């Protein structure tokens, strides 16, 4: 069901991109340009999204000699999940967070902050790592990069449309006249709709990764406890970040209680914890310790 929701939401994003390109340029040419922009941005995100995200957080690569406990934890979880070992990075931040990136499991990277390593006990950190590896296994890192680039292209085209209206332009379709009201609504609503859809994709993938982590470790309660601890810490030690990369993180980098859940990149922590505790019952309370 989560996969179906994700595909449907990505389809809506693509349709928005093509629609706004149609209004900006007009006719079949506008549709073709929209498809071309989607293709170019998706290819770019496929190849470079991991490098951009890691650079944005100033993540530094680490090897087994620098963090043997963390490295062994990730290695054992990868063996259980039948995944290749990702590159490991540490983010020099007191904020407690983590993210995964990369176009596929063979080119994946997992990054954790200094704060999260110091904050969480081993079983909770294991749940967080399992969550990020679930993103890798489900190829959510690519899905989120595609969603972000399409949303960005929509915002760019909407800005171009606003310039067109300002300078007296509009649709260049010779077969019809531009509808100023329709153009204005497109300029205003398309970027907003794109953001809402992108956030909907992120929330859907977070629930799926939580479930994947619970099954991978057999210890849903540890991840539930980690999420609660991370949310509490985010209120005390906000983590500066580029909003474009917020969907990658396991929790919102800072508290946004004043925002509606519609505009949140993550599901409510309480809802995530509730689902994890339900999974604990389904798994029969199994809590294998992979760190022994």
Show which residues are catalytic.
132
Instruction: Tell me how many degrees the CA angle 230-234-239 measures, rounded to the nearest 5.
Output: 115
Tell the burial category of 85 from Cβ atoms under 10 Å away from its Cβ (0-12, 13-18, 19+): middle
- 168 torsion bin: left (phi>0), alpha (psi -120 to 50), beta (else): left
CB-based burial, 209-226: b 16+ in 10 Å, e otherwise: bbbbbbbbbbbbbbbbbb
Tokens of 107: 């080119």
For residue 125, give the nearest of 212, 267, 204, 227 by alpha carbon. Answer: 227
Question: Strand pairing of 87-91 and 60-61?
Answer: antiparallel
Integer Cα distance of 225 and 249 in angstroms: 17
Tokens of 21: 């390109």
């Amino acid at each position: 069901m989560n996969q179906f929701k994700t595909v449907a939401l990505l389809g809506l994003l693509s349709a928005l991109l093509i629609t706004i390109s149609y209004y900006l340029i007009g006719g079949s040419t506008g549709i073709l340009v929209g498809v071309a922009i989607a293709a170019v941005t998706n290819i770019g995100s496929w190849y470079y999204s991991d490098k951009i995200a890691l650079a944005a957080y100033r993540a530094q690569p680490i090897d087994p000699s620098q963090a043997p406990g963390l490295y062994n934890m990730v290695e054992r979880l990868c063996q259980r999940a039948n995944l290749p070992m990702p590159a490991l990075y540490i983010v020099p931040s007191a904020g407690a967070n983590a993210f995964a990136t990369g176009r596929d499991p063979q080119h994946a990277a997992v990054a954790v902050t200094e704060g999260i390593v110091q904050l969480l006990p081993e079983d909770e950190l294991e749940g967080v790592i399992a969550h990020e590896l679930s993103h890798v296994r489900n190829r959510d890192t690519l899905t989120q990069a595609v969603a972000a680039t399409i949303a960005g292209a929509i915002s760019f085209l909407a800005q171009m449309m606003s310039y067109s209206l300002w300078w007296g332009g509009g649709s260049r379709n010779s077969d019809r006249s531009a509808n100023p009201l329709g153009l204005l609504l497109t300029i205003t609503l398309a970027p907003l709709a794109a953001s809402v859809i992108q956030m909907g994709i992120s929330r859907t993938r977070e629930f799926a990764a939580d479930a994947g982590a619970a099954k991978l470790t057999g210890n849903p309660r540890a991840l539930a406890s980690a999420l609660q601890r991370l949310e509490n810490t985010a209120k005390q030690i906000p983590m500066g970040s580029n909003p474009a990369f917020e969907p990658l993180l396991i929790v919102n980098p800072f508290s946004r209680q004043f925002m509606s859940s519609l505009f949140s990149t993550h599901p409510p922590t309480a809802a995530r914890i509730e689902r994890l505790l339900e999974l604990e019952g389904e798994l029969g309370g199994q809590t294998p310790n992979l760190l022994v």
